[in-house]
Structure 1
Amino acid sequence: MQWATLAAAALLAQNVAAQGNMLRFACSQLVVERTDPLVNPGMKFTPHLHQIVGGNSFNVTMDPAMDMAAASTCTSCTFKEDTSNYWTAVMFFHHKNGSYHRVRQVGNGGPQGKLVNKGGLDVYYIPSGKVTAFKKGFRMLAGSATNTADSKVSKGNICHRCWTSTNEDNFVGSAPCSGSDTVAIPMDPKCKMIRQTIIFPTCWDGKNLDSPDHASHVAYGQGSGATGGGACPSTHPTKLPQVMYELMWNVTEFSDKSMWPTDGSNPFVYSMNLGGAAAHGDYVFGWKDNSLQLAMDNNCNLNKDCPKAGLHAQTDAQYSACNKKQQAVEDVEGWLKELPMGDKAIKA
């Protein structure tokens, strides 16, 4: 391992040590479909495609009064007690012939160890001091699916990193959303994987479980990055655990530049047909009882059993077996004539 890599790993380890223990675990794919019960409740074939992980009680409507833990028979996330749902837009490769192909997702490694997921993402809950866990019915959104300007996005909260190796354990760079990370999706044929990071607000108004824009009831504190969040403003005084999504998009099969659009446009786009500025994440809380609060209070760490909080870590075979049939049924695999937007997806 090179000295630069060792230094980066050490720096990240120091950051983790400074913020105490944190949950870091894998979630495999539950379903890929055009539904969005947060922004478009009740709608099938929403404006763009999402990849969803978590409890299998996920549905088109997602009534906030629903007890997700009771309604779910399994979860595609590591901890049996976590039936929350986490979802993001899907990354596509745009071929010069006009067709699109979904970029596959892989697990992540790094200084804290390898995480195994089957086409899903990795989730972090990072505390900073005493935090108040989310309440039943809580939901929020980070980022905007319509944003087209990189300058309107904080690189400290939503970012992308070029990974020049297919080995996710070959750690690249330093802490998430720092250094050479960019809001834009990297378009360098040297990139074998692209890591996407989405960091959610850590400050809550203490009253509303949601808001019309799914964002006003929460706020970012002072500072940025994966630090657990800084001091909260008086309007949002309640400190929450910092939720962070980490996705590894494997772009190896699309690194041949002769396949790229000839107009010089970025061949990698999200399912809104927009770039990294439109990256966003949706979160619907669904931990059983007070297990998340107990996990934060008892310094539960990484993806391991935590008896003090009653957390049970499933094997990757167990959580990866939790899947759900599409509610908005369409074929989103292979080469598509156009992005799944509007009408059903059409094969190329």
Structure 2
Amino acid sequence: MQWATLAAAALFAQNVAAQGSMLRFACSQLVVERTDPLVNPGMKYTPHLHQIVGGNSFNVTMDPNNDPAKLSTCTSCSFVQDKSNYWTAVMFFKAKNGTYTRVPQVGNGGPQGKLINKGGLDVYYIPSGKTTAFKKGFRMLAGSATNTDPKKVSSGNICHRCWTSPNENTFVGAQPCSGSDTVEIPADTKCKMIRQTIIFPACWDGTNLDSPNHQTHVAYGQGAGASGGGACPSTHPVKLPQVMYELMWNVTSFADKSIWPSDGSNPFVYSMNIGGAAAHGDYVFGWEGDSLQKAMDNNCNLNTACPKAGLTTQTDAQYSACTKAQQAPEEVNGWLKEMPLGEMSIKA
């Protein structure tokens, strides 16, 4: 089993090496709140809860004419030059007594080394061939927060993995969204953690920085998984860096099945109160100047400083200290009587 794990880790590393270097770095939580300037601009107490990472200029509206790189005074991501914002839904555990609590998170390990997060997620920028970095004002969405049908989700782009190792540094499985990975959230007491992967489209129409549904200006290429995106369709000919989010949800404290719902339903749900088919990620570009393009052109790698591109890094203490007060204040920690949906949440 150990040899199989090592072989899978080596294969993923070889695949990455074959397509060139990639950025892989940690982002701690900036804030957890019900705002969504992409889908619900200007609204406080949006339909569901998000965890947001990145530049501290994040706000309820995020006017596309404003540059997060110039407005942010800090970033919760390890690269100083990255003031982008990245956000996802929050995973909750639903107990037999009807109360909910957020599933805690840990940093990610794997063949490229350990990353340290205070909540949040890991971000990848995976180039493939001639890669054009995002432009100021660019934004996009992967997945659908209302989808309940796993058949409508490509398991090569959005997936979950039952992480059977108690240590995130012990790599489990092969490259993301392959093998036994599932669209639905695993519900198995053998899972010590659940790794969530969200892979964004890597092909752009070359004109529009956004679209009404935040999706049609981009498209997936022919490649599946963390491959850099594959060949692009003629409608979206410009190859972008493939953005990938990875999140490690630590479910070890929920292994006692006697506290799971008695109706047999999955106790792990996202903050829309539905399952893995509704997993989604939001992205608002905010790298300083042409630093991301230089990073792609100069094969900057992983989470290390890259002088050729002018990239510098922070310590985990520094990026984790970049936080923001809730703009839609409510209690999101501990046990809650109900999911934060519609009305403000209430402590149990």
TM-score normalized with structure 2 length: 0.99
Q: Matched residues in 1 for 2:134 and 2:105: separation?
A: 28
Residue pair 2:30, 2:76 contacting (<8 A) in 1 also: yes
Residue pair 1:58, 1:85 contacting (<8 A) in 2 also: yes
- Deviation of 1:165 after TM superposition, in Å, equals 2.1
Which residue of 1 is the match for residue 97 of structure 2? 97
Are 2:197 and 1:209 equivalent residues in the alignment?
Answer: no
Are 2:91 and 1:80 equivalent residues in the alignment?
Answer: no
- Deviation of 1:252 after TM superposition, in Å, equals 0.7
Are 2:35 and 1:35 equivalent residues in the alignment?
Answer: yes
Residue pair 1:166, 1:250 contacting (<8 A) in 2 also: no
Q: Matched residues in 2 for 1:6 and 1:193: separation?
A: 19
Write out per-residue CA displacement over residues 114-158 of structure 1, whole angstroms, 9 at most, x where no aligned residue.
000101100000000110000000000000000000100000000
Which residue of 2 is the match for residue 65 of structure 1? 65
Q: Matched residues in 2 for 1:285 and 1:120: separation?
A: 17
Identity of aligned residues (%): 82
Equivalent residues in 2 for 1:304-343 (5 A)? 304-343=304-343
Q: Matched residues in 1 for 2:285 and 2:67: separation?
A: 10
Q: Helix, strand or coil: the match of 1:296?
A: helix
- Deviation of 1:186 after TM superposition, in Å, equals 0.1
Residue pair 1:123, 1:245 contacting (<8 A) in 2 also: yes
Q: Matched residues in 2 for 1:258 and 1:11: separation?
A: 39
Q: What amino acid is aligned across from residue 219 of structure 1 in structure 2? A: A
Which residue of 1 is the match for residue 56 of structure 2? 56
- Deviation of 1:164 after TM superposition, in Å, equals 1.2
Which residue of 2 is the match for residue 173 of structure 1? 173
Structure 2 gaps, min length 5: none
Are 2:223 and 1:223 equivalent residues in the alignment?
Answer: yes
Write out per-residue CA displacement over residues 265-319 of structure 1, whole angstroms, 9 at most, x where no aligned residue.
0000000001000000000000000000000000000000000000001110110
Runs of 4+ in 1 over 2 A off after TM superposition: none
Write out per-residue CA displacement over residues 35-78 of structure 1, whole angstroms, 9 at most, x where no aligned residue.
00000000000000000000000000000011111110000001
Residue pair 2:338, 2:345 contacting (<8 A) in 1 also: yes
Write out per-residue CA displacement over residues 55-106 of structure 1, whole angstroms, 9 at most, x where no aligned residue.
0000000000111111100000010000000000000000000000000111
Residue pair 1:100, 1:339 contacting (<8 A) in 2 also: yes
What is the number of equivalent residue pairs in this alignment?
348
Are 2:171 and 1:186 equivalent residues in the alignment?
Answer: no
- Deviation of 1:14 after TM superposition, in Å, equals 1.1
Which residue of 2 is the match for residue 122 of structure 1? 122
Q: Matched residues in 2 for 1:264 and 1:81: separation?
A: 46
Q: What amino acid is aligned across from residue 291 of structure 2 in structure 1? A: S
Equivalent residues in 2 for 1:253-264 (5 A)? 253-264=253-264
Q: What amino acid is aligned across from residue 312 of structure 2 in structure 1? A: H
Q: Matched residues in 2 for 1:266 and 1:12: separation?
A: 30
> Which stretch shows the higher mean deviation, 64-73 or 46-55?
64-73
- Deviation of 1:249 after TM superposition, in Å, equals 0.2
Q: Matched residues in 2 for 1:221 and 1:20: separation?
A: 18
Q: What amino acid is aligned across from residue 125 of structure 2 in structure 1? A: Y
Residue pair 1:158, 1:197 contacting (<8 A) in 2 also: yes
Residue pair 1:55, 1:82 contacting (<8 A) in 2 also: yes
Q: Helix, strand or coil: the match of 2:29?
A: coil
Residue pair 2:68, 2:84 contacting (<8 A) in 1 also: yes
Q: What amino acid is aligned across from residue 234 of structure 2 in structure 1? A: S
Root-mean-square deviation over aligned CA pairs: 0.7
- Deviation of 1:17 after TM superposition, in Å, equals 1.0
Residue pair 2:165, 2:172 contacting (<8 A) in 1 also: no
Which residue of 2 is the match for residue 143 of structure 1? 143
Residue pair 1:30, 1:53 contacting (<8 A) in 2 also: yes
Q: Matched residues in 2 for 1:126 and 1:40: separation?
A: 29
Q: Matched residues in 2 for 1:114 and 1:223: separation?
A: 27
- Deviation of 1:166 after TM superposition, in Å, equals 2.4
Q: What amino acid is aligned across from residue 312 of structure 1 in structure 2? A: T
- Deviation of 1:19 after TM superposition, in Å, equals 1.1
Q: Matched residues in 1 for 2:96 and 2:89: separation?
A: 22
Residue pair 1:143, 1:278 contacting (<8 A) in 2 also: yes
Q: Matched residues in 1 for 2:342 and 2:25: separation?
A: 34
Q: Helix, strand or coil: the match of 2:101?
A: strand
Q: What amino acid is aligned across from residue 196 of structure 1 in structure 2? A: Q
Which residue of 1 is the match for residue 10 of structure 2? 10
